[in-house]
Amino acid sequence: MKLLNKKSLCIPKSISGLAKTVVLSSLFIAGLQTSVNAQKDSIAPPKWWVGIAGGVNINFYNGSTQKLNNDLTSPTPFHSGKGFGLFLGPLVEYHQLGKRWGFMLQAGYDSRKGKFNEIKTPCNCPTDLSTKLSYVTVEPSLRIAPFKGNFYMYVGPRFAYNLDKSFIFHQKVNPEYPDQIANPAISGDLSDVKPVLVSAQVGIGYDINLSAKTNQTQYVLSPFVSFQPYFGQEPRTIESWNVTTVRAGAAFKFGRGRKVSHDAEKADAIAVVPVKTVIPEPAAVAGEDANVAFTINSPNNIPVERRVRETFPIRNYVFFDEGSTHIPTRYVLLEKSQVKEFKEEQLEVFAPKNLTGRSKRQMVAYYNILNILGDRMNKKPTTTIILAGSSEQGIADGQQMAESVKKYLVTTFGIAPGRITTLGLDKPRIPSGVEGGTTDLSLLAQGNRRVTIETTSPTLLMEFQSGQDAPLKPVELVGVQEAPIDSYVTFNVSDEKDAIKTWSLQVTDEKGVTQNFGPYEEGTLSLPGKTILGTRPEGDYTVKMTGKTKSGKTVTKEAKMHMVLWTPPKDEEGVRYSVIFDYNEAKATTVYEKYLTDIVVPKIPVGGKVIIHGYTDIIGNADYNKKLSVKRANDVKAIMESALAKAGRTDVTFELFGFGEDEGLAPFENKFPEERFYNRSVIIDIIPKK
C-alpha cells in the first residue's frame, strides 16, 4: 500500500493526553556507626566523592507526533508510548557527615528511547513507531540530607544535548487482506529536534558504606531513584510530544578521608573530681584579629576510690519495627529454662546479642524490660497489666503487637493469661510529636509504633507515678564508672566579632612529640585525657592554636598545659539518677518534681556536689536542641535547689551542662526509638565531699 503525503491527508483534531502518575518508592536501610579508638589516629570522613552512576530510564511518551520529517508523515498521529533506556556517566559529590547540605554533579549518556503505542491508519493498517532518542546530559543538583545521615534527596536542573534522533516507522498490511505485499520498515531521523533541552529532576538516594570507618579510602554504594517530569522535555520544536522519565539505578563512589588525632568516642560518664583551670601564658597573635581568646581547662584528675550506684528509669514501652508484629531481636528474650537464673541486679549476664555503642550497661537494662516485668509479676502475683499496642496501620496491627508481648510473658514466665489484658490503638494515648508539627515525622512515627505497659499496681511503678503512661520501677545497678565528661581537657576559642571560621591544635610534649587535632568549627572542644596522654599517667604540653578568620587571616595562640590521666574508682560512693522528658518538653512533670524532691535530694550528702547534664535526641534543629537541653537541666536544678532551700540547706554546689543532640556526648545512639526516648533526659550525678 502506498503512503500518503501530508498534503493529501485530513489531519484530525489533537487529542489531549492523560497525565501519568509515578509513585517513587522510599529506601529504608539502617546504619550502624562504630566508635573510634581514642588512642589511635582516626579518619575524618571524606568531603569530596567521585565515581560512576548507572541506571535504567523508564520513559513515558505523551502528547502527539505525526510529521516525522519532510519526507514522511504518518496518516494518523501517535499519542503515547513508553520504553527503557540506559543512563551511564561519571559523578562528583561534595557533602559532609552530619551536615544537611551538599552538592552533586552527574553527566553522561542518557537514552530516552521508546516505542509509541500501535495505531490504526485509515486503511485499517496497524502502524508502529519507535525512536532511539538519546542525549549527553549534565545534571547539577543540590544534595539534602534531612536527618543528617545516609539518606538524602537531591533536586536540580537537567541540561541535555541531543546525540541521536533516529526512528523506525512501520506500516503493516491490513489483516483483512493478508495476501498483500508487506510494506518495509522505514528508517530516518526526526526533523525539528531541539539541540538542547533544559528541564528538571528530583530524586532520593541512600549511601551504603562498603568499607570500614578506619580506612582512609572510603567506598560507598548509593541506590537512587529520580523523577524527571515532562516540562522542558518536548524533544521537538513542532507538535506536542513530551517525555516523562523515572530513573532507577545506583552510584559507586569513593573518597579519601583525612587523618586526625582527636577522639570521637564518648565514655560512659559520672564526674567525680573538681576541675582546675590552667591559666594560659601570654600568646603570640598574627594578623589584625588580636581580640581572640584561647583558654584551656585541664582537670587535676586526682585518683579517688569510688564506684557508682546508678538508678536507671525504665520507660513502659516496647518498640516494634515497621511492618512487623514480632518482638524485635534487640530485646533480650529468654528461654523458659533461664527464668530461674534471671536476677535483676545481674542484668549484664543477659545482654542483647548485638549490643554496641555507648552506655552499654544502661541499654542492657532497657532491653531486658520484658524479663524485668515478668520477674516482678511473678514476685507480686496480685499485679495486673494492660498491654496497649499502637500502630499507624490500624487497631488490628496494634492488637497483634500486644498479643506478641502477652504470649512471651505467659509462655516464658508462666504469667496467668487473665492477669494481662491486650488492646489495639491506631496511636498511643500520649503520642510523640506536637500538634501541627512537620519535623522528622518518620522518626516520630517510629516512636509511636509501640506497646505501652499500663498498670495500677504500685509495686510495678516508679515512686509517685500513676496513670496510663507511668514509667516502671527503676533498676538499680552498681558498677565501675568510666572516664567522666568532667575529666576531659577542654579547649575554648572565642572572639568578640565571631571572626574565627576554623581552628586547629598542635600539642607538643616534653620530648618534642607533636599531635595535631582539627580543624574545628565549634568554639569548644573536649577530649578525654587518654587521647593526648595515651598510657602516660601525666605530662606537660605546649599547645598552639592556629585559627583562620572569615577574612582569610591567620591567628595563632600558644599556652602551656599540665595533664593528669583519669583513673577509675574502686569503692562505692557516687550516685546517679536520670529524669526522662517527653518529646520537645523542657518542664519536668509534677510527678517527677515529687521524685526529685523526696527521693533524689535527700541522697545528697553534706557538702556534696551535684552535676547536671542535659540531653536531647536528634529530632529537630541542632541549635534548638542545644537550648532545649540547657532548659531541661535548669528545670531539674531549680526543683532541687527549691527542695534544698526548704530544708534549710546551703552546703550543696551545682555544675550544669547542656549537650543538646551532640552524638559524640549523648548517653545513647539514635538508631532505634528507645535510644531516642532515653536521650531526652537529664542525668544527675551526686558527688560526696572528698
pLDDT at residue number 687:
83
Q: How far is CA 377 from CA 362, 381, 561, in A?
A: 22, 6, 56
pLDDT at residue number 287:
42
Q: Do 229 and 371 fall into the same domain?
A: no
Q: Predicted confidence band at 127 (pLDDT cuts at 50, 70, 90)? A: very high
Phi-psi region of 599 (alpha: psi -120 to 50; beta: other; left: phi over 0): alpha
pLDDT single digits (tens) 264-322: 333 333 333 333 333 343 333 344 444 677 777 666 654 444 456 677 777 889 999 98
In a domain, 543, yes or no: yes
Answer with the one of 534, 564, 594 that is the final residue of a domain. Answer: 564
The three cell numbers of residue 554 are 591567620
Q: How far is CA 395 from CA 400, 404, 435, in A?
A: 9, 14, 22
pLDDT at residue number 569:
53
- Please give the residue that has the higher pLDDT: either 225 or 672: 225
The three cell numbers of residue 236 are 521537538
- Please give the residue that has the higher pLDDT: either 111 or 505: 111
Q: Predicted confidence band at 419 (pLDDT cuts at 50, 70, 90)? A: very high
Q: Predicted confidence band at 142 (pLDDT cuts at 50, 70, 90)? A: very high
pLDDT at residue number 690:
66
User: Distance between CA atoms of 148 and 69, rounded to whole angstroms?
Assistant: 51
Tally the C-alpha atoms within 13 A of residue 305's C-alpha that lie toward its C-beta: 1
Element (H, E) at 393: none
pLDDT at residue number 486:
53
User: Distance between CA atoms of 505 and 526, rounded to whole angstroms?
Assistant: 12
Q: Do 244 and 359 fall into the same domain?
A: no
Answer with the one of 473, 508, 531 that is the final residue of a domain. Answer: 473
Q: Do 432 and 514 fall into the same domain?
A: no
Q: Do 539 and 438 fall into the same domain?
A: no
In a domain, 429, yes or no: yes
CATH number for the domain harbouring residue 335? 3.30.1330.60
> What does the DSSP assignment read for 674-687?
HHHHHHSEEEEEEE
In a domain, 23, yes or no: no
Tally the C-alpha atoms within 13 A of residue 604's C-alpha that lie toward its C-beta: 24
- Please give the residue that has the higher pLDDT: either 232 or 11: 232
Q: Do 535 and 617 fall into the same domain?
A: no
Q: Predicted confidence band at 198 (pLDDT cuts at 50, 70, 90)? A: very high
What is the separation of C-alpha 478 from the centre of its chain, rounded to a whole number of angstroms? Answer: 32
Residues 6+ apart with CB under 8 A from 393: none
Q: How far is CA 301 from CA 5, 359, 485, 528, in A?
A: 95, 22, 11, 11
User: Distance between CA atoms of 450 and 469, rounded to whole angstroms?
Assistant: 12
Q: Does 541 have pLDDT greater than 80?
A: yes
pLDDT at residue number 390:
93
The stretch 506-527 carries a mean pLDDT of 83
Three-state DSSP state, 97:
coil
Q: Which segments within 279-359 are labelled E, that is strand?
A: 293-297, 307-314, 317-319
Instruction: Give yes or no for a contact between 331 and 279, defined as CB atoms under 8 angstroms apart.
Output: no
Q: Do 352 and 438 fall into the same domain?
A: yes
Instruction: Give yes or no for a contact between 50 and 90, defined as CB atoms under 8 angstroms apart.
Output: yes
Q: Does 100 have pLDDT greater than 80?
A: yes
Q: Does 41 have pLDDT greater than 60?
A: no
pLDDT at residue number 362:
67
- Please give the residue that has the higher pLDDT: either 269 or 619: 619
Q: Do 88 and 115 fall into the same domain?
A: yes
Angle between the 395-413 and 369-379 helix axes, to the nearest 10 degrees?
60
How many domains does one find in the chain? Answer: 4
Q: How far is CA 1 from CA 12, 119, 125, in A?
A: 21, 16, 9
Most confident by average pLDDT, 42-56, 63-77, 274-288: 63-77
Q: Does 666 have pLDDT greater than 50?
A: yes
The three cell numbers of residue 175 are 489483516
Q: Does 242 have pLDDT greater than 80?
A: yes
Q: Do 55 and 143 fall into the same domain?
A: yes
Q: Does 22 have pLDDT greater than 50?
A: no
pTM above 0.75, yes or no: no
In a domain, 18, yes or no: no
Q: Predicted confidence band at 220 (pLDDT cuts at 50, 70, 90)? A: very high
pLDDT at residue number 493:
76
In a domain, 556, yes or no: yes
Q: Do 72 and 158 fall into the same domain?
A: yes
pLDDT single digits (tens) 309-357: 677 777 889 999 989 999 998 888 999 888 888 877 666 555 555 544 4
Answer with the one of 417, 451, 473 that is the final residue of a domain. Answer: 473
Three-state DSSP state, 628:
helix
Residues 6+ apart with CB under 8 A from 149: 31
Instruction: Name residue 160's beta-bridge partners.
Output: 137, 197
- Please give the residue that has the higher pLDDT: either 84 or 365: 84
Q: Do 227 and 170 fall into the same domain?
A: yes
Q: How far is CA 58 from CA 225, 243, 324, 448, 449, in A?
A: 11, 10, 32, 37, 35
Instruction: Give yes or no for a contact between 193 and 175, defined as CB atoms under 8 angstroms apart.
Output: no
Q: Predicted confidence band at 11 (pLDDT cuts at 50, 70, 90)? A: very low
CATH number for the domain harbouring residue 299? 2.60.40.10
In a domain, 468, yes or no: yes
Q: Do 293 and 177 fall into the same domain?
A: no
Q: Does 456 have pLDDT greater than 70?
A: yes
In a domain, 190, yes or no: yes
In a domain, 392, yes or no: yes
Helix, strand and coil percent figures for the chain, each rounded to 5: 20, 40, 45
What is the separation of C-alpha 51 from the centre of its chain, rounded to a whole number of angstroms? Answer: 24
The verdict on whether omega for the bond into residue 519 sits within 30 degrees of 0, i.e. cis, is: yes
Phi and psi dihedrals of 394, rounded to 5? Answer: 120, 170
Residues 6+ apart with CB under 8 A from 388: 398, 402, 422, 423, 424, 425, 428, 429, 451, 452, 454, 468
Q: How does the average pLDDT of the chain come out, rounded?
A: 79
pLDDT at residue number 29:
31
The dihedral built from the CA positions of residue 259, 260, 261 and 264, taken in this order, carries a sign that is negative
Q: Do 584 and 678 fall into the same domain?
A: yes
Q: What is the DSSP letter of 477?
A: E
The three cell numbers of residue 361 are 550497661
pLDDT at residue number 279:
37
- Please give the residue that has the higher pLDDT: either 285 or 453: 453
Domain span at residue 537 reads 277-306+483-564
